[in-house]
Chain A
Amino acid sequence: MENAVVEKKMTYRLGGPVLLKVDSSEIAVGKEFAEKIMVRR
């Protein structure tokens, strides 16, 4: 999805996933995957 706004809603403890909001969808991505997401300021 081009130029989509991704909002980080929550990081779960003990190596759990990261909960993201993309458009209106909530998507949980595993820690190892989330660590590879680069954020540009």
Chain B
Amino acid sequence: MASCHDVQVDLRVDHDPNRILLMGNPNVGKSVFFSQLTGLDVISSNFVGTTVTYTEGTIELGGEKYTLIDVPGTYSLEATSEAEEVAVQFVSSNPRAILCVLDATNLERNIKLGLEIQRYNVPIVYALNMVDVAKRHGLEIDIEKLSKELGAPVVPTVAVKGEGFDELKKELTKLVNRPGASPRFTGSELAAWRQAKAIVGRVRKQASGELSFLDRLGEAMLRPWPGIPIALLVILLSLGAIVGGGKALRAALLLPLVNDILVPFFKNLFASFIPEGTLLNVLIGEFGIFVIGFEWIIALILPYVFLFYVVFSFLEDSGFLPRLSVLFDGIMRKMGVQGGSMITILLGYGCAVPAIIGSRTATTKKERIMISAAVCFAVPCISQTGALISLFASFSPILLVLMLLLSFVIMFTVSFILGRVLKGEVDPMVIEVPNLLMPNPKAYAKKLMLRMKGFLVDAEGPMLVSIIIAATLKETGLLELIAVYLEPIVSGWLGLPKDAVVALILGVVRREMAVAPLLAIEGLTALQAFVGGTVALLYLPCLSVFGILAKEFNARFAVAIGLATTTTAFLVAGIINQVAQLLV
């Protein structure tokens, strides 16, 4: 656990006098408040010297612009964890006001934090969120009385439905224009607990409620029956939506766009002023930058990435994923990690980079290494999955199922071995299960937009680099030269055509690029496709993953992962080829 001296002062925190802090416990819907109150100019940053991320955006109140900072959710301000230390830094930085979100269904511990914030003498507005859920649970809260008890305005809200925000903005405007005296609580943490309990006793009454369909479904999904079948059905439907939807988007929209419009346009354009020769081939030849660039990036990768984030963000915001973690904790423990890590690993099916960053939520270093290694070894990112789907499409869907099974076996083996080899412990799961709800459309759209923006900025650059390398190697004949040296491994041990060398070279830059060149090889057999897919699945993580591994751990760890994954890729794929050759 970090001491309070570990977190340095982040100078960016003090840069703007018009700062308003958005604070509250985890899972109270703060991100929905943030999306509802701010515009599109959202910045996500790391608090200096920590692994804690916060988001800031602009909020307009009475014609004036303010910076709204979404402070990481905390249960207290006792600075016993990194997130709490960051929260203390923010609240001590003399902000203009604080918007503290209280969860109406868990009033006592939310009020306790609300009281602790009062120690810092900053004007506060409280938003009492999820009043609809509280009502359905038979909890009646006297808002006027609560406001008097807390000495500050309390606005009831239902953030996911966008209710209460006009009133909240009015109260915030009043607060920043005429701050007045701030409410003060000066007691200890224990005193805050006692006062919170007393306040709840005075403002809350138990009445009869009626659970909604989603409340009952949320309850049911926590029980093994029918929770596990529902969870498996949701996973299958999600996969179906991503794979089927991606294929449909590709066939109906993106392939015609690329093959009938973009590629012919650039072919005609370059052919009109560049003479025939190597340069023209590099640009618009069979492997030309303006041919495979559009084909691979737009038609092959983009539809699957987009649909993965559509589905994953929905499952994340609806409260489905924590239920999945609870149901499958027993199995995850057999793997050596705890159920909560399942969310991080699932995130790896989108991209390994956010999954490795997300592994910060692991409570021990051992578990963090285990999750990151499992993701690097055997979790294909969505771009690579898209490429694998396209590769196996001309053979049989059984190949895709076998590939997924292989990835599970390798992931399980890697975690199992590391669990025994690495020193230290993996803590048991402690996870709060949020209410099951329909995501707020605005917050959902903003999250989707930020994720796609992140993908386009972070991934398209390296993808373009690998496409330029591929085009240059193929069209200049350099590939033939390199292939001679790698032939014993590629053709001898793996049984692949010598053109597959390009996949091994490009796979270093991006994971899907270890698959995409195989699509262009004519006469590939089902065994070769599976062996090539296996190499790609287990091969080196891409350059971005190397970068993030070196940053989050160290360069030695990144190199070790690179060596171990490459060795495993050649070993496992080679064994599959050799055994199949013997059997067939």
Residues of A within 8 A of B (CB): 1-4, 10, 12-17, 19, 23-34
Q: Which of A2, A14, A23, A31 contacts B106 (CB 8 A)?
A: A23
Interface of B toward A, CB cutoff 8 Å: 105-109, 112, 134, 137, 139, 190, 193-194, 197, 222-224, 322, 325-327, 329-331, 333-334, 338-339, 427-433
In the complex, the answer to whether B223 meets A10 with C-beta atoms within 8 Å is: yes
Q: Are A33 and B430 in contact (CB under 8 A)?
A: yes
Which residue of A is nearest B137, CB measured?
Answer: A24
**How many angstroms from the CA of A32 to the CA of B139 in the assembled complex?**
33
**Inside 8 A of B331's CB, which chain A residues have their CB?**
14
Which residues of chain A have C-beta atoms less than 8 A from B338's C-beta? 30
Partner of A32, one of B322, B428, B431, B432: B428
Taking the nearest CB of chain A, how far is it from the CB of B557, in angstroms? 27
A14-B331, A15-B334, A17-B339 known; A28 and B326 CB under 8 Å? Answer: yes
Give which listed residue, A4, A17, A26, contacts B432 with CB less than 8 A. Answer: A26
User: B190 touching A30 by the CB < 8 A rule?
Assistant: no
| Given A12-B329, A14-B330, A19-B222: A28 and B190 interface contact (C-beta under 8 Å) | no
Set of chain A residues within 8 Å of B428, measured between Cβ atoms? 17, 29-34
Question: Are A28 and B137 closer than 8 Å at their CB atoms?
Answer: no
Q: For residue A36, which residue of chain B has the nearest CB?
A: B428
Using A17-B339, A19-B222, A25-B106 as known contacts, say yes or no to A12 and B326 having CB atoms under 8 A apart. Answer: yes
Task: Tell whether A28 pairs with B330 under 8 Å between CB atoms, given A1-B108, A10-B222, A17-B339.
Answer: no
Secondary structure call for the A interface: loop
- How distant is the Cα of A31 from the Cα of B109 in the complex, in angstroms? 24
A-B contact count (CB 8 A): 89
- For this complex, 24 residue pairs linking A to B, each with C-beta atoms less than 8 Å apart, are A1-B108, A1-B193, A2-B193, A12-B224, A12-B327, A13-B224, A15-B333, A16-B327, A16-B330, A17-B329, A17-B339, A19-B326, A19-B433, A24-B137, A25-B433, A26-B432, A27-B430, A27-B431, A27-B433, A28-B430, A30-B429, A30-B430, A33-B427, A34-B428
Is A24 in contact with B106, judged by CB distance below 8 angstroms? yes
C-alpha gap A17/B431 in the complex (Å): 10
Q: Is the CB of B190 within 8 A of A27?
A: no
Give the distance in Å from the alpha carbon of A30 to the alpha carbon of B330 in the complex. 9
Question: Which 4 A-B residue pairs are closest in the complex by CB-CB distance?
Answer: A30-B428, A16-B330, A14-B330, A33-B428
Q: Are B326 and A17 in contact (CB under 8 A)?
A: yes
Asked if residues B427 and A30 are in contact (CB atoms below 8 Å), the reply is yes
A24 touches B329 (CB 8 A): no
Contact call B326/A13, Cβ cutoff below 8 A: no
Measured between beta carbons, the chain A residues less than 8 angstroms from B431 are 27-28
Contacts of A13 in B (CB 8 A): 224, 330
Contact B432 A2 (CB under 8 A): no
Partner of A15, one of B193, B222, B330: B330
How far is A33 from B139 in the complex, measured between Cα atoms in Å?
A: 30
Bound form: Cα–Cα A31–B252 in Å? 50
CB distance from A29 to the nearest CB of B (A): 5
A31→B332 CA distance, assembly (Å): 12
